[in-house]
Amino acid sequence: MDEKQENFDIEDIIKKQRDFFKTGKTKDLDFRIMQLQKLKNSINSNETLLLDALKKDLNKSTFEAYTSEVGFALNDIDFMIKNLKSFAKPVKVKTPPAYLGGKSFIISEPYGEALIIGPWNYPFQLIISPLVGSIAGGNCSILKPSRSAPETYKAIEKVISDAFDEDYIYVVKNGSIKSSELLTHRYDFIFFTGGPTVGKLVMEAASKFLTPVTLELGGKSPCIVDKDTKIEYAAKRIVWGKYLNSGQTCVAP
């Protein structure tokens, strides 16, 4: 598929997802919980495929791939299923004097359509965990995993296609469109994980539509070891943090 064809498909997907969002189905909390459960079931059904893909792409051991990617995402899903209804409750706040006699609440509402762009270092977890938040928030989602982890990309496509229709959650086909082209379209929220250089481009593209953005960017993560620290414990924890995922973690020491 060439880029023009995929661009047309993206426009079609965006329209389909906006139409689906307008039905109001995603606002229902029970609907959201059901979708989270479907995602969990699909991940569990494709666990072997995911672990094999992470081995091929990043040479991750089964233990590390599960604990830092698959199991991490499943834990996020379980947490959200358990707490979603509590999180969604209106929060009563103080009423300003100008509105004396009234009552004030903060009520959380879905944004609409979210674009989620993931990195290569945790190619599964850093796509699925933001998706969990998007589903829980009542949004439709377009996912753009990292093309630098092609086997995991294919596994993510299967996990999503097994569970959802594309008018609700869609995975952009690998290699068919650049992120820069994807960002020329209008979304209601963008979640990007990656480096500051691309993060600036994401922010610039979002600013044209005043689209709210979450940027999870890498950077320096110094460790402070003071005189009261137990050196043996500190050393073990620093080394563990540095060697986890071969040091390719945004908060690695």
Pick the catalytic residue: 151, 216, 223, 232? Answer: 216
> Ramachandran region of residue 141, left (φ > 0), alpha (ψ -120 to 50) or beta?
beta
End-to-end CA distance of the chain: give it in Å, rounded.
Answer: 42
Cα dihedral: 3, 4, 5, 6 (round 10): 50
Q: Please count the helices (runs of H) and the strands (runs of E) in the chain.
A: 10, 7
CB 155 within 8 A of CB 127: no
Contact status, residue 191 vs residue 134, Cβ threshold 8 Å? yes
Contact 10/178 with Cβ under 8 angstroms? no
What residue has token string 């358990």?
82
- Please give the Cα distance from 214 to 134 (Å, whole number): 12
Beta bridge partners of residue 213, listed in sequence order = 190
Contacts of residue 159, Cβ cutoff 8 Å, sequence gap at least 6: 39, 42, 43, 46, 50, 128
Catalytic residue list contains 140:
no
Q: From the candidates 64, 151, 166, 250, give the one annotated as an active-site residue.
A: 250
CA 184: distance to chain centroid?
20
Catalytic-residue membership of 157: no
User: How many Cβ atoms from other residues are within 10 Å of residue 100's Cβ?
Assistant: 7
Helix (H) or strand (E) holding 170: strand 169-171
Known catalytic residues? Answer: 216, 250
